[in-house]
Each structure stands twice: as C-alpha cells, then as structure tokens.
A and B are shown apart, each in its own frame.
Chain A
Amino acid sequence: NAGVTQTPKFQVLKTGQSMTLQCAQDMNHNSMYWYRQDPGMGLRLIYYSASEGTTDKGEVPNGYNVSRLNKREFSLRLESAAPSQTSVYFCASSERGRDEAFFGQGTRLTVV
C-alpha cells in the first residue's frame, strides 16, 4: 500500500530549464493537490484537482502548470525554472467529501 508516490525525490535544475514533477496515488481518491513548502513559510497550495478532468489555481500558481492525467496521476510542470521556485514540493490526495489529505514524501527541488 504505497499511498501517494512522488518522483523524483531530489532534483537540481538550471535557471530556465523545464521539468515535470510526477505524483500518483493508489487510494482511489478523487481529489489531488500540489503544495510547496519553504523554510519558515508553512505549506502553500499551488494547484488542485477536485476531480478527474478539472484543475483550479491555489494561492501561488504563477510559474506552474498542472495536468490531471487520469484519476491516479497529477503532474506539476515548471516551464522555465527560476531560483524562487527552489522549494520542497508535496503532492496530496483526498477522498471526495472527506477533508483529510494524505501527503507524499516530497520532491526537493533546487534551481541554480
């Protein structure tokens, strides 16, 4: 029972490069989320997908795009990475009508 799996766990990018962070859940949850965690800032919502086929902006969406590929997978894309996007990124999922979010172990991204 893996829960929420994120890949990769660590990544270093150069400014201007692009990459996609992958997230998959095996709990048959309808809703999925991307948060970023910066030192002293707590977690902030980037984008979420209430159900397959829908996506909505969160608190800090600028510089990111998302794709809800199917019910299991929700990816986060950085088209042109900037040093300000250095952060730890967490994917989460929840069951429709339930508030509890289940988080993955995170992707530590450094943009140099």
Chain B
Amino acid sequence: GENVEQHPSTLSVQEGDSAVIKCTYSDSASNYFPWYKQELGKGPQLIIDIRSNVGEKKDQRIAVTLNKTAKHFSLHITETQPEDSAVYFCAASKNPGYSTLTFGKGTMLLVSP
C-alpha cells in the first residue's frame, strides 16, 4: 500500500519567516495530495491541495509544489503568523472522488512572536 513520509516532525520559526514541510510518497498511482491543518482539540481542516497534473498551486500565503518524478510534494508558508501554529499533515490518495487518504505523521509548527 501507499506510504507517506513527512519531515520535519517539529518546526520552530520566528513570526514573518517562511516554513517548508516536505513529504514523499511511494505509490506512483497516487494522484491527489492534500494538506490538512489541525489545531489543538479539533479535527483536521483542508488548507490546500494539488493534483498530479499540476506542479504548483498558491493560495495567498500558502503554496504547494509537486514533483511526480521524484514522488515528493512540499508545503510552503510565507510570512508566518502565530496563528499558523498547529500540526500540519500531508496526505496522498489514488481513489479519485473519495477521501480515502494515507496521511503522513504530521509536523508541529510553532511560530514565535
């Protein structure tokens, strides 16, 4: 089955800095790659996603890049703010139209004022 590796497990940055979280996947049939943000005591919430026919996608301060050849994708957050502090999960799926996701183990992002 699919295996998703995520690094780093924790990331500390100063407010205003950029943060980058990287994931690799094993199944070349995977074609959908979402990123979820989980705040303490809450369920994960989708923040951005990318499909295999796209190399990069941006939404304000966040962006995701995908390298299908190398089977890795990354989340980029610019101008970080304290409210960006949370656990971020990458995931992969090869079941289009359904959220049968394989998740990475998560990255705890801490943004210090």
Is B44 at the interface (CB under 8 A from chain A)? Answer: yes
Give residues of chain B (2-39) contacting chain A, Cβ–Cβ below 8 Å: 4, 6, 9, 32, 34
CB-contact partner of B105 in A33, A41, A97, A100, under 8 A: A41
Inter-chain contact B34/A100, CB cutoff 8 Å: yes
Complexed CA–CA distance, A9 and B66 (Å): 36
Count residues on chain B whose CB falls below 8 Å from chain A CBs: 26
Give residues of chain A (24-56) contacting chain B, Cβ–Cβ below 8 Å: 31, 33, 40-45, 48, 50
Contact surface of A with B, Cβ cutoff 8 Å: 4, 31, 33, 40-45, 48, 50, 58-59, 90, 92, 94, 96-101, 103-106
Can you name 19 extra interface pairs (CB under 8 A) apart from A42-B104, A101-B34, A101-B99? A4-B43, A31-B98, A31-B99, A33-B99, A33-B100, A40-B105, A42-B105, A42-B106, A44-B103, A48-B99, A50-B98, A59-B102, A90-B44, A96-B97, A98-B97, A99-B32, A99-B49, A99-B97, A99-B98
